[in-house]
């Protein structure tokens, strides 16, 4: 990902390494997507690939990861949910709480793309 001073945080805070983002807990895997990014992809944005299940046992860790990214200066979080097999109400709460944090900061947002059939139903 590109880095640079943009008033959103230091260069180091926006230069993510996969080992700072990637994690697995219970049936949930989260990975930083660094490949296939558009040329004009904003430096203060990040794409996460979420696979597995977002449930009571994994939701807190996911919320903490989202909040950490926001605190580091990322104002756009894009979430690829193509391989998300399951999400329950605690998983939904993660996205609501993350949206609330963006609202409190007064800028930024989150977008979900490529939702699995289960996510679409939910």
pLDDT value of position 86: 96
CB 89 within 8 A of CB 56: no
**Confidence class of residue 13 from pLDDT cuts 50, 70 and 90?**
very low
Domain boundaries, the chain: 11-121
Whether this prediction's pTM lies above 0.75 is answered by yes
pLDDT value of position 98: 97
pLDDT (tens digit per residue) in 63-94: 999 999 999 999 999 999 999 999 999 999 99
In sign, the C-alpha dihedral spanning 122, 49, 90, 67 is: negative
pLDDT (tens digit per residue) in 15-64: 777 777 888 888 999 998 877 778 888 889 999 999 999 999 999 999 99
**Confidence class of residue 14 from pLDDT cuts 50, 70 and 90?**
low
Superfamily of chain region 11-121 = STAS domain (3.30.750.24)
pLDDT value of position 6: 40
């Amino acid at each position: 990902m590109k880095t640079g001073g943009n008033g959103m945080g230091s260069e180091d805070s926006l230069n993510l390494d996969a080992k700072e983002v990637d994690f697995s807990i219970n049936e949930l895997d989260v990975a930083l997507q660094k490949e296939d990014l558009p040329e004009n992809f904003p430096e203060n944005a990040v794409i996460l690939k979420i696979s597995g299940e977002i449930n009571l046992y994994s939701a807190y860790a996911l919320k903490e990861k989202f909040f950490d990214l926001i605190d580091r200066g990322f104002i756009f979080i894009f979430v690829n949910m193509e391989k998300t097999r399951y999400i329950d109400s605690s998983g939904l709460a993660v996205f609501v709480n993350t949206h609330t944090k963006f609202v409190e900061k007064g800028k930024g947002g989150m977008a979900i793309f490529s939702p699995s059939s289960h996510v679409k139903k939910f």
